[in-house]
Structure 1
Amino acid sequence: MNLIKLDAIDSTNSFLKELAQKSNLTNYTVVVANYQKKGKGQMGSQWDSKPGENLLCSVYVEFNDFLATEQVLLNYAVSIAVYNVLIDYEVPKLSIKWPNDILSLNHKISGILIEPVMQQGRIISAVIGIGINVNQMDFSTSKKQITSLKFLKGIDFNLDELLQSLIEELKIQIAYITNTKSNVLKKRYLDVLYKHNVPSMFMDQQLQTRFMGKIVGVASTGKIQIQLEDETIKEFGVKEVAFV
């Protein structure tokens, strides 16, 4: 693992993407920062974190024969990797909230941002940004329900050890993409997917209307599949639907 440690940076993902354009990076080059001034989340949202208290990293991964049409597998692999690491830390009642937030007791403990590079219908590399709330206890400035390892377990955690465990698990799960066992990834993902097959209230963000339904799967495009009360199935992209 080629590890680059930074004190403060706008975004580890932006830094690593720019570095990849300028130089030949080794596979699984990792950038980790004590603080991100402009941490990036899904669809341009912000990732807020106090300096030195959490794991903020980005990982550069290369692929040899990964079709762009199978991009959802990468989301499965990364989500499962983070989930498994937190399971090893005995974090209670974990789940993956579509597409790739990790929850404990229905509170967010980790977020993921995957930015692939595509060429001729294939994913040739990706920068995988992962934020895990570790030793931070005060989330008073956030409007979301957020938690951390320390908040849940009552002790401080070593960020370097957590990073090492995370990279090892990423390698294991990403290997499933190309070793003909990709169906295993989808099953594992759905097994721990938040509210999977549970009747729930949703908000259609485009129509601004509420509706009852239940998550029944994820399409090959990565869209969430929700079965409506009339038993039809509708697919939604990121930011098109939310839990109420």
Structure 2
Amino acid sequence: MIGHPFYILDEIDSTNNYAMEQVNSGQVTSGTAWFTSNQTAGKGTRGKQWLAQPGDISALSIALQPAMLPLSRQFMLSISVALGTHDFLSSYAGDETIIKWPNDIYWRDRKAGGILIENVLRGNIWQYAIIGIGLNINQASFPADLPNAVSLRQITGKTRDAATLAKELCIALEKRIRQLHPAHYEEILDEYKAKLFRWQQPGLYRKDDEFFEGIIRDVLPDGHLCLEKEGKIMQLRFGEVEFIIAR
């Protein structure tokens, strides 16, 4: 069960770092979760930092043994975590909650959260996935260099107890993880695509310092983004293209 046990940390550099240390020590069971509202050096994707003031962000990491998936199906776990996080946030923020490929959580065209999954491998055995989720919960405002960030407080006008929300998020993730079965892969992928930011809609992108208009046409089971540019389809890995959002 995801979130059993559930630990609250007063302050930590990164819940993912802490979870990784606990896994490597051999002292955890699958589903263990660690939460803090005071993360001093949180990790984002591609080495970026996820920074927040104390009490502002729900930083949650979960150690999961992905026995239900082969290593070749890593992207299905990413999809399921994104859908579970979307389920949770949309229950508060409404239908304008969406997923930006591959697994950022958006509200309208603004980022409300991010997901980072780090794997522990023993040879070809996928021993653990460390699932890190950062959600903007109680921020009243953001620095000028984060023009597209948004918090649940800004969306709803209410402050909330972040630890309580983190436990609710664990429940939402549990429901989605339980759906992971080969018979459901196609259905899960289709639902993920239907909730994507800019799905089948034109948008501005940048690749290799070139700006262009493109349309997301598909996402493949391995995670590649199929982006149409001038009538031709490009298959892109994460990090190869940037979404441009005008302000």
2:28 paired residue number: 25
Counterpart position of 2:180: 177
Offset, 1:165: 1.2
2:98 pairs with one of 95, 98, 112: 95
State the match for 1:72 in structure 2.
75
- CA-atom RMSD, angstroms? 1.6
State the match for 2:225 in structure 1.
224
Give the ranges of 4+ consecutive aligned residues of structure 1 lying more than 4 Å apart after TM superposition. Answer: none
CA distance in 1, matches of 2:20, 2:94: 31
Matching residue of 2:237: 237
The answer to whether the 8 A contact 2:37-2:162 is kept is no
- 1:166 equivalenced with 2:169 (yes/no): yes
1:151-198 C-alpha deviation (Å, 9 max, x unpaired): 111111122321121101111111122363122221111011000111
Judge conservation of contact 1:195–1:214 (CA < 8 Å) in 2. Answer: yes
Instruction: Tell me how far 1:141 sits from its aligned partner.
Output: 5.1
* SS of equivalent residue, structure 2 residue 179: helix
2:236 is matched by which residue type in structure 1? F
Superposition deviation, residue 60 in structure 1: 0.8
- More displaced stretch, 140-149 vs 129-138: 140-149
Please list, as runs of the form range in 1=range in 2, the aligned pairs for 1:52-63 lying within 5 A after superposition.
52-63=55-66
* Residues 56 and 120 of structure 1, relative CA distance in 2, 3 Å threshold: same
Tell me if structure 1 keeps the 8 A contact 2:35–2:60.
Answer: yes
Alignment partner of 2:50: what SS?
coil
SS in 1 for 2:49: coil
Find the aligned partners of 1:125 and 1:139 in 2 and give their Cα distance: 34
Distance 1:123 1:219 in 2: 21
- Change in Cα spacing, 1:65 to 1:90, as seen in structure 2 (3 Å) is closer
Aligned length: 241
Would you say the 8 A contact 2:84–2:176 is kept in 1? yes
Q: What amino acid is the match of 1:89?
A: Y
Secondary structure of 1:36's aligned partner: coil
Given the alignment of the two structures, is residue 196 of structure 1 paired with residue 199 of structure 2, yes or no? yes
Q: Which runs of 5+ in 2 are unaligned?
A: none
Q: Which amino acid aligns with 2:223?
A: G
Q: Distance in 2 between matches of 1:8 and 1:164?
A: 18
TM-score, length-scaled by structure 1:
0.93
Task: Find the aligned partners of 1:143 and 1:160 in 2 and give their Cα distance.
Answer: 25
The answer on 1:115 being equivalent to 2:118 is yes
**More deviation, 167-176/215-224:** 215-224
Amino acid of the structure 1 residue aligned with 2:214: G
Gaps of at least 5 residues in structure 1 are none
Q: Identity percentage over the alignment?
A: 28
Give the partner amino acid of 1:242: E
